[in-house]
Structure 1
Amino acid sequence: MHRKVFASKVYERKVVLITGGCAGIGRALVLRFAQAGARLVILDLQQDELDSLLQHLADHHHVEAMGLCCDVADAVAVQEAVALAMERFGGIDVLVNNAGVSHRSTFADTDLEVFQRVMAVNYFGALNCTKAVLPSLIARHGQIIVLSSLSGFAPLLYRSAYNASKHALHGLFETLRYEIKGSGVNVMLVCPGFTATDLRKNALVGDAGLAPSPPLAMGRVASAHDVAEEVYRAALKRKRLLVLSNVNWRARLLARYFPWLFERALLPRISGIKPGRGGR
Structure 2
Amino acid sequence: MNTTLNGKVALVTGASSGIGEATALALSAAGARVAAGGRRADRLKLLADQAPGELLPLELDVTDQESVRAAVAQTVERFGALDILVNNAGVMLNGPIAGADTTQWTRMVETNLLGSMYAVHAALPHLLERRGIVVQVSSTSGRTASAYSGVYAATKFGINAFSESLRQEVTAQGVRVVVVEPGFVATELTTHITDPTMRAAARELAESMRTLRPEDIAAAVLYAATQPEHVAVNELLIRPTDQTRA
Q: Distance in 1 between matches of 2:86 and 2:36?
A: 10
Q: Distance in 2 between matches of 1:204 and 1:67?
A: 29
CA contact 1:194–1:219 (8 Å) conserved in 2: no
TM-score by length of 1: 0.80
Unaligned runs of 5+ in 2: none
Q: Which residue of 1 aligns with 2:204?
A: 215
Q: Does 1:26 align with 2:20?
A: yes
Shift of 1:219: 4.9
Q: Which residue of 2 aligns with 1:8?
A: 3
- After the TM superposition, which residues 96-135 of structure 1 pair with which residues of structure 2 at under 5 Å, given as runs? 96-135=86-125
Shift of 1:181: 2.7
- After the TM superposition, which residues 217-236 of structure 1 pair with which residues of structure 2 at under 5 Å, given as runs? 219-236=209-226
CA contact 1:110–1:205 (8 Å) conserved in 2: no
Letter in 2 for 1:124: L
Q: Distance in 1 between matches of 2:219 and 2:240?
A: 17
3-state SS of 2:136 partner: strand
Residue 146 of structure 1, aligned match among 136, 140, 143:
136
- After superposing on structure 2, the runs of 4+ consecutive aligned residues of structure 1 that deviate more than 4 Å are none
More relative contact order in 1 or in 2 (CA 8 Å, sep 6+)? 2
Percent identity of equivalent pairs: 33
Q: Which residue of 2 aligns with 1:72?
A: 62
- After the TM superposition, which residues 201-280 of structure 1 pair with which residues of structure 2 at under 5 Å, given as runs? 201-205=191-195, 213-216=202-205, 219-237=209-227, 238-245=232-239, 266=245
Q: Distance in 2 between matches of 1:176 and 1:149?
A: 18
Structure 1 residues 157 and 214: CA distance shift in structure 2, 3 A: farther
Q: Distance in 2 between matches of 1:109 and 1:26?
A: 32
Residue 198 of structure 1, aligned match among 169, 188, 209:
188
Q: Which residue of 1 aligns with 2:152?
A: 162
CA radius of gyration, larger in = 1
CA RMSD of aligned residues (A): 2.1
3-state SS of 1:13 partner: coil
3-state SS of 1:91 partner: coil
CA contact 1:114–1:204 (8 Å) conserved in 2: no
Shift of 1:211: 5.6
Shift of 1:235: 2.7
CA contact 1:102–1:199 (8 Å) conserved in 2: yes
TM-score by length of 2: 0.90
Aligned residues: 239
Q: Distance in 1 between matches of 2:184 and 2:146?
A: 12
Unaligned runs of 5+ in 1: 252-265, 271-280
